[in-house]
Amino acid sequence: MKTLLTIAVSAALLTSMGAKAQSRPQPMDQRTERLVTLMVERDNGNKVYPWSKVQVPVSEVEAKINELLSDPSVISVERSQTIKRPQPPKVNKSANAMPMMASGASVWTFNDPGFPDQKIYQNTNGHDMRLLEAAERVDDANAMRIGVLDSGFSRIQDVTYETGYNFANDAPIGPAFLLEDIAYCSDQEASAESTLFYRHGTVVSAVATASANNYSGIAGVSQNATVVAGRVMDCSGYGQLDTIADGILWQIGASVPSAPGAPVIEPVDVINISISSTAPDCPAYLQSAVDAATQKGIPIVVAAGNDSYRADRGIAMCDGVITVAATTHDGDLASFTNTGPNVDIAATGETIRAVTVNDRLTYASGTSFASPIMAAVIANTQKRVGNASPADIIYALTRSGTPANNNATGFGLGGGIIDAMILMDEMGVPRDIVAAVNGLSGEREQYKEAFLHPAAEAFLGGKSVCEMVEIDAGSMPNADKTQPVTIFRVPKGIPLLPSNGMVMDQVIGQDRFFTNAITESGAKLYDFGIAQCDISSSANCSQKTSIRGIDGDSLLRADGCSSSKISRRKL
């Protein structure tokens, strides 16, 4: 059955950066006011994205719709209308200058001039997202690629743009996505009271990925991460929801029907969209793009909105996205944030220390800046569990927050204020690694002739000591000692939890023991761990107390066995 869905959209780029709000610039010309974009769903065999665009003058819209619906291949038609940037949220500006107290919990320190003022890394009145502690649990050498769909991207020292593409209609669709490369934006900025108003995408990108220890700006939440920038709004903060769908398709490595010149790129690891909409629901063409990302295992993180209302409009209504509300550093509900049942998690979104054009330090407020914190936390988690699905992450988030203060009770903040350490626990990222030493290593190597004697192999049940490793489970003093120590394995990139894998061996009553459960061929395909808990019910199974990863770098064969290594990959 063919359908016509006419959706009036008024969306908003969520921005507040401690600067005076600018008067709204006028559109470049009348083109966007006189043309209407129709999104056409066809039965054309495109299983990834069956939608295409048709642009017609406003006076011809109804006739064109009737014409399209007469085509047997057309399933439905939707109208995409403009989205725009709202007024910045009102915050207590005196908070921008509040003294910053050092946190004893911070495990890293950086030389970036803005780092001492980054309260997102500090414990404030008992509220701490534990971002740095969590980041220490993963290998920082594993570079991540964060997709950012926004506007106002500019060159700064702190942000590395791997690539970018412009989908907004105020400039040619193509690879010129930076403000410095778009003449119209430069003209607008020259006439504005402050250029900060136009740098939304730059600030969002910096909060997530700013380089640390470079004596400039701030330290981003996800280190060694690059930005894949999709420009989906013009420099005045206007655009259309269909361009967001274009940006999603491009960032997940799919072809974009409306931009055939856009190169097909390697899919990003996570997408951040700090844009909101007043559309009454998620348009079908946008949901199709979100579904395509979900099928590829790419999570999409979106800002809840700055209307002090329910997050029940536009992108936040799409199935499968992760919607982020904002709180203060003290754990209070931010006065401007949207809330409600569609919110999955909250993060600090008020007076965020940030960096903008010319590497100037600034402050930013809005759910726009809570969202990239969450996207970066997810990117850090994916450094270890890159094969986790968006549904896995959404479920983990329901168990990964801490309560907001009492004045936020009942507003709807999903799992609460993100605790990155708990999220990594829920996602099966080991807090600690134990050594697994080859059976003929260390002091035993001096007895290798005896251990390698056929009689010794017969005593070991036909197994060579070279095939055995010693495990030390003594690093779990708070585990349930009534349970056996279980060695288990999971496919690489899957959360290291016994429920996700296969039991390989169990030992009762010993903290140090030998096992032949870890083989050279197995270590190439699986990540191994140990657990001391009730694995049948998962009761008391926790990365904090009773689960440890096994260090692949320790699995070296002794000289008497082979010069090869069982595994060189750190689990």
Closest CA to 457 of 385, 392, 516: 516
What are the residues facing 443 on neighbouring strands?
Answer: none
pLDDT at 571: 33
* Residue 393: strand, helix, or coil: helix
CB-count burial class (<10 Å; 0-12, 13-18, 19+) for 100: middle
Could you give the CA distance from residue 202 to residue 13 in angstroms, rounded to a whole number? 13
Count CB neighbours of 143 within 10 A: 15
* Residue 36: strand, helix, or coil: strand
Could you give the CA distance from residue 305 to residue 148 in angstroms, rounded to a whole number? 17
Residue 61, CB half-sphere, CA atoms under 13 Å: how many?
15
Residue 490 structure tokens: 């999971």
**Element holding 470 (H helix, E strand):** strand 469-472
Residue 425, CB half-sphere, CA atoms under 13 Å: how many?
19
Q: CB neighbours of 50 closer than 8 A, spacing ≥ 6?
A: 41, 42, 43, 44, 75, 288
Closest CA to 15 of 357, 337, 369: 369
* Residue 87: strand, helix, or coil: coil
Residue 241 structure tokens: 């929801």
Q: CB neighbours of 183 closer than 8 A, spacing ≥ 6?
A: none
Local confidence pLDDT in tens for the 571 residues of the chain: 555 443 333 333 444 444 333 333 344 444 445 789 999 999 977 778 999 999 999 999 999 999 999 999 999 999 986 676 645 676 765 444 343 344 444 457 899 999 999 999 999 988 999 999 999 888 777 889 999 999 889 999 999 999 999 999 888 999 999 988 887 676 665 454 445 557 889 999 999 999 999 999 999 999 889 999 999 998 878 888 999 999 999 999 999 999 999 999 999 999 999 987 777 889 999 999 999 999 999 999 999 988 878 887 778 889 999 999 999 999 999 999 999 999 999 999 999 999 988 889 999 999 999 999 999 999 999 998 888 999 999 999 999 999 988 766 567 889 999 999 999 999 999 988 887 777 666 666 666 667 676 776 666 666 666 777 888 888 888 888 899 999 999 998 889 999 988 999 999 988 888 888 887 678 778 889 999 999 998 888 889 889 999 876 666 555 666 544 333 333 3
Residue in the structure block whose two tokens are 């006028």: 26
Residue 196, CB half-sphere, CA atoms under 13 Å: how many?
20
* Residue 312: strand, helix, or coil: coil
CB-count burial class (<10 Å; 0-12, 13-18, 19+) for 113: middle
Please, what sign has the CA dihedral across residues 330, 333, 336, 338?
Answer: positive
Task: Tell me the one-letter amino acid at 268.
Answer: V
Could you give the CA distance from residue 232 to residue 251 in angstroms, rounded to a whole number? 12
Q: Give DSSP secondary structure letters for 154-173.
A: ---TT--EEEEEE-STTS-S
pLDDT at 56: 93
pLDDT at 100: 39
CB-count burial class (<10 Å; 0-12, 13-18, 19+) for 215: exposed
Q: CB neighbours of 278 closer than 8 A, spacing ≥ 6?
A: 9, 10, 11, 12, 313, 314
What are the residues facing 77 on neighbouring strands?
Answer: 4, 40
HEC profile for 417-469? EECHHHHHHHCCCCCCEECEEECCCHHHHHHHHHHCCHHHHHHCCCCCHHHCE
φ, ψ of residue 119 to 5 degrees: the values are: -70, -15
Q: Is 278 left (phi over 0), alpha (psi -120 to 50) or beta?
A: alpha
The answer to whether residues 167 and 118 touch, using CB atoms and an 8 Å cutoff, is no
Could you give the CA distance from residue 408 to residue 430 in angstroms, rounded to a whole number? 32
DSSP character at residue 66: H
Which domains are delineated in the chain? 3-81 (no CATH), 131-426 (3.40.50.200), 433-554 (2.60.40)
pLDDT at 459: 67
pLDDT at 65: 95
pTM: 0.84
Q: pLDDT tens across 359-385, in order?
A: 899 999 999 999 999 999 999 999 988
Residues of 482-504 as b/e, b for ≥16 C-beta within 10 angstroms? ebbbbbbbbeeebbbbbebbeeb
What are the residues facing 230 on neighbouring strands?
Answer: 149, 165
Virtual CA dihedral for 51, 57, 62, 66, nearest 10 degrees?
-50
DSSP character at residue 217: S
pLDDT at 253: 97
Question: How open is the CA angle 318-320-326, to the nearest 5 degrees?
Answer: 80
pLDDT at 11: 35
Residue in the structure block whose two tokens are 């280190």: 223
Count CB neighbours of 253 within 10 A: 15
